[in-house]
């Protein structure tokens, strides 16, 4: 890309440094489309107002519909064993989300 820009002389007589970046593994979720796109991904979020007594949550984004996101708080890949609870699901209004990021899964 830099070579093409040099040949085309896009910025006549000027030197420049071309930097390319990406949102990264812990990409921020900002727009409703971000929540729709990353449904099924692990997320970490902070709320403006407490939900069930807490502001900080981490889990799998199960769904996003009509301005509400559903987070599966403790994942279970199998059915829970007797005496153990099923995963807890938490609904949060998008308007209450202060900050949300993807959690890298490696």
Residue 86 is predicted with a pLDDT of 61
Residue 19 is predicted with a pLDDT of 73
In the chain, the domains with their CATH numbers are: 25-76+84-106 (2.30.30.180)
Q: List residues bridging with 100 in a β-sheet.
A: 45
- pLDDT digits 0-9 by tens, 29-85: 999 999 999 999 999 999 999 999 999 999 999 999 999 999 998 654 445 556 656
Residue 26 is predicted with a pLDDT of 84
Q: List residues bridging with 45 in a β-sheet.
A: 57, 100
Detail the DSSP E strand segments found in 1-106: 42-51, 54-65, 68-72, 89-93, 97-102
Torsion angles phi and psi, residue 5, rounded to 5 = -65, -35
Residue 77 is predicted with a pLDDT of 46
Residue 5 is predicted with a pLDDT of 64
How does strand 97-102 pair with strand 89-93? unpaired
């Amino acid at each position: 890309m830099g070579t093409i820009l040099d040949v085309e002389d896009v910025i006549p007589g000027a030197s420049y440094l071309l930097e390319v970046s990406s949102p990264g593994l812990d990409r921020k979720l900002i727009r409703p489309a971000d929540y729709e796109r990353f449904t099924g991904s692990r997320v970490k979020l902070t709320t403006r107002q407490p939900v069930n007594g807490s502001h900080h949550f981490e889990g799998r984004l199960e769904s996003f519909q009509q301005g509400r996101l559903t987070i599966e708080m403790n994942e279970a890949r199998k059915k829970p064993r007797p005496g153990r609870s099923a995963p807890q699901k938490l609904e949060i209004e998008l308007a209450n989300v202060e900050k949300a990021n993807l959690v890298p899964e490696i």
